Amino acid sequence: MPTPRIVPWLAAVAWIALALGPARVQAADAAADPSAVEAQSRALERAAHATLGLRSLAVEGAKTLAILGRERQGSGVLIGRDGLVLTIGYLVLEAEQVELLTHDGRTVPARVVAYDLATGFGLVQALVPLGLEPVPMGTAQQAALREPLLVTSGGEQGDVGMALLADRRAYSAYWEYHLDQALFTAPARPDHAGAGLFNARGELLGIGALMVSDAAGPGQPAQPGNLFVPVDLLVPVLPELLAQGRSQASLRAWLGVNCVESDGEVRIVRVTDDSPADVAGLERGDRIIAIDGTPVAALAVLWKTLWATAPAARSVRLEIQRGSRRLDVTVHAVDRAWTLRRAEGI
């Protein structure tokens, strides 16, 4: 049985002192208040214990097997007393089995509640009582740059460590995904998938999604780090996720392409088999010049223009450069959810 993860008292006190700092203490003796320090230490320990390991098994023939594999593992954070756990969506995409692993070595079955394409969040729910206290959600917008934060991961290899908030900016992925604002932390952690990002009060600020090489942002020295999806994006759509399994913003056109942006040009680097883009004849190396008449010089423009028009299943006009030729291609986009497989009975 794995050793339970706890936040040692002295380490918690040292971390709190560093996180708060003299400039953030309103009274000179406030930082020395034993009851305040003890309360924050308990909050950080709660954060560590509420971060669970997560294992999932995708359905046979899942469309995402080639990219994500069938067996996936990472973390999730308990946010509801009913066993509701927030994680990163790709861990539970097309999953037929999900298990949660507690800090004291228990394995608990869970079910997928939601996968949200727009935010990237996933929600699962434990099928038996966890006996753990959920964490409160904070506001990522209130976190200051260079602020020390706590990162927690779950499971047998779960860990608790520190990170600094390196940047806060928009993020456009090579797949069809965009966030108007994401959180970037350093140093990099390999156990980022579904990890929790907490402030000194033990409030959840974000869920880990990716490793990046430019955590400090454009124009800054290369700095390996992680991208966290801010929980601010969850609060407005949580009722939709619980009721419908995804948000209204996730009902949007999908092409099935991976693209990269370089020097003001956007090019296709991968076409998903049997996707709308594949059926339309798009190829790796094609440069996308315009979408629905809008010039494309950045990934954000491509994705936002694609999603700006309803319904999700519609015709999308692309102007592309292929070698020396310019081509007009019509792609019959679809709702991404239509392409995904689910376990029987779900």
**HEC string for 251-263:** CCEECCEEEEEEC
Neighbours of 177 (CB within 10 A): 16
29 shares its domain with 114: yes
Evaluate if residue 54 carries a pLDDT over 60: yes
40 shares its domain with 97: yes
Residue entry with tokens 């593992």: 73
At residue 216, the pLDDT reads: 95
The C-alpha atoms of residue 311 and residue 233 are separated, in whole angstroms, by 23
The model's pLDDT over 142-164, given as tens digits with 9 standing for 90+, comes to 999 999 999 999 987 789 999 99
145 shares its domain with 228: yes
At residue 68, the pLDDT reads: 87
Instruction: Tell me the CATH number at 262.
Output: 2.30.42.10
258 shares its domain with 223: no
Evaluate if residue 316 carries a pLDDT over 70: yes
The C-alpha atoms of residue 232 and residue 280 are separated, in whole angstroms, by 37
163 shares its domain with 223: yes
> What is the number of structural domains in the chain?
3
Of 126, 153, 187, at which residue does a domain stop? Answer: 126
Q: What is the mean pLDDT of residues 37-61?
A: 91
Q: What are phi and psi of 317, to 5 degrees?
A: -95, 125
Does 1 map to a domain? no
280 shares its domain with 203: no
Of 244, 261, 295, at which residue does a domain stop? Answer: 244
Beta bridge partners of 160: 152
45 shares its domain with 108: yes
226 shares its domain with 275: no
Q: What is the mean pLDDT of residues 333-339?
A: 91
Report the amino acid identity of residue 55.
Answer: R
Does 33 map to a domain? yes
161 shares its domain with 201: yes
Does 49 map to a domain? yes
Please tell me whether residue 127 adopts helix, strand or coil conformation: coil
Q: Which of 301, 67, 8 is nearest to 170 (CA)?
A: 301
Does 135 map to a domain? no
Q: What is the mean pLDDT of residues 2-24?
A: 46
Buried b (16+ CB within 10 A) or exposed e, 66-97: eebebebbbbbbbbeeebbbbbbbbbbbbbbe
Question: 259: domain range?
Answer: 251-339
The C-alpha atoms of residue 344 and residue 61 are separated, in whole angstroms, by 13
Does 134 map to a domain? no
Evaluate if residue 303 carries a pLDDT over 90: yes
21 shares its domain with 116: yes
Evaluate if residue 67 carries a pLDDT over 50: yes
13 shares its domain with 122: yes
Of 214, 244, 274, at which residue does a domain stop? Answer: 244
Using pLDDT thresholds of 50, 70 and 90, give the confidence band for residue 344: low
Report the amino acid identity of residue 77.
Answer: V
Instruction: Tell me the CATH number at 76.
Output: 2.40.10.10
Q: What is the mean pLDDT of residues 168-196?
A: 97
At residue 19, the pLDDT reads: 53
180 shares its domain with 110: no
CA dist list (Å): 316 to 62, 92, 291, 320: 26, 29, 7, 12
Q: What is the mean pLDDT of residues 71-98?
A: 96
Contact by Cβ (8 Å): 58, 95: yes
At residue 15, the pLDDT reads: 55
Does 344 map to a domain? no
Q: Which of 256, 275, 234 is nearest to 114 (CA)?
A: 234
Does 198 map to a domain? yes
The C-alpha atoms of residue 227 and residue 188 are separated, in whole angstroms, by 9
Residue 62, C-beta contacts closer than 8 angstroms, at least 6 positions apart = 70, 93, 94, 340, 341
Does 160 map to a domain? yes
The C-alpha atoms of residue 236 and residue 246 are separated, in whole angstroms, by 12
Mean pLDDT, the chain, integer? 90
User: Crossing angle of helices 34-50/9-20, nearest 10°?
Assistant: 110
